Amino acid sequence: MNQYTERIYNGMIKENPCLVLMLGMCPTLAVTTSAINGLGMGLSTLAVLICSNLVISLMRNIIPDQVRLPAYIVIVATLVTVVDLLMQAYVPNLYSALGIYIPLIVVNCIILGRAEAYAAKHPPLLSTLDGLGMGAGFTAALTLIGLAREFLGAGSVFGHAVLPKSVEPIGIFVKAPGAFLIIAIIIAVMNAVGIASEANKKVEGCNGCCTSCADLTSCTSEKKEVAQR
């Protein structure tokens, strides 16, 4: 496997951002009420991720190190605004279903995380493929979770009813608690079959995506603070 296909494999399977690295939990939980919403959210994030990785990689020698995070945020926010306007114009139904979570792609940790961890240090083509792999992995995970929730909660697949009318779907799965339930079950299954996931580290504190990508110093100081008590 050469380094290019390795990037795709890495993003989709080995370091799947959603199920293995546990990044971007907010959209994962929020928009997966149906498979089509999960797919839509995944694809919009994929588009932003590919472009942001490419742009940041091209500019990696220009951006001064001290102001790199604000610079990344401006780049990502610009791209998100572009995607936001495009979706508003061409897919209004999906746009209104995803609502506030489209602008919130800006604070999706996967994007800043990949910018900081990969795109800032690697050439444009590899960075673009890294974005493609990570984005595809995120899309696949969101679609699968959406599929499971839609099937259990509404008895349909991609909006087509598949269960006979006599079977009552378990409505709670398309409501808020269902999101937590499904993710809890997925991680429990992964634990049971021994797939290493960052999830368990995350709840121990200080490995949450917000901490890892934005500000590592505050994280270590928090650990010290906790240790002192």
Among 47, 54, 55, 80, binds other proteins (CB under 8 A): 80
Q: Is position 171 an interface residue for other proteins (rule: CB under 8 A)?
A: no
Among 6, 71, 97, 103, binds other proteins (CB under 8 A): 103
* Long-range pairs for 65-73: beta carbons < 8 A, 24 or more residues apart: 68/116, 68/120, 69/112, 69/116, 69/214, 72/112, 72/115, 72/116, 73/106, 73/112
Q: Is position 188 an interface residue for other proteins (rule: CB under 8 A)?
A: yes
* Lookup result for tokens 């999101």: 179
Q: How far is CA 41 from CA 72, 103, 145, 146, in A?
A: 21, 11, 12, 11
Q: Is position 94 an interface residue for other proteins (rule: CB under 8 A)?
A: no
Q: Is position 3 an interface residue for other proteins (rule: CB under 8 A)?
A: no
User: Helix, strand or coil for residue 156?
Assistant: strand
Sign of the Cα pseudo-torsion (77, 79, 82, 84, in order): negative
Instruction: Write the single-letter amino acid at 139.
Output: T
Among 73, 91, 94, 163, binds other proteins (CB under 8 A): 73
Which residue number, 91 or 104, has a Cβ lying nearer to other proteins?
104
- Interaction site with other proteins (CB under 8 A): 22, 25-27, 29-30, 70, 73-74, 77-78, 80-81, 84-85, 100, 103-104, 106-109, 112, 172, 175-181, 183-185, 187-189, 191-192, 197, 199-200, 202-211, 213-215, 217-218, 221-222, 225-226
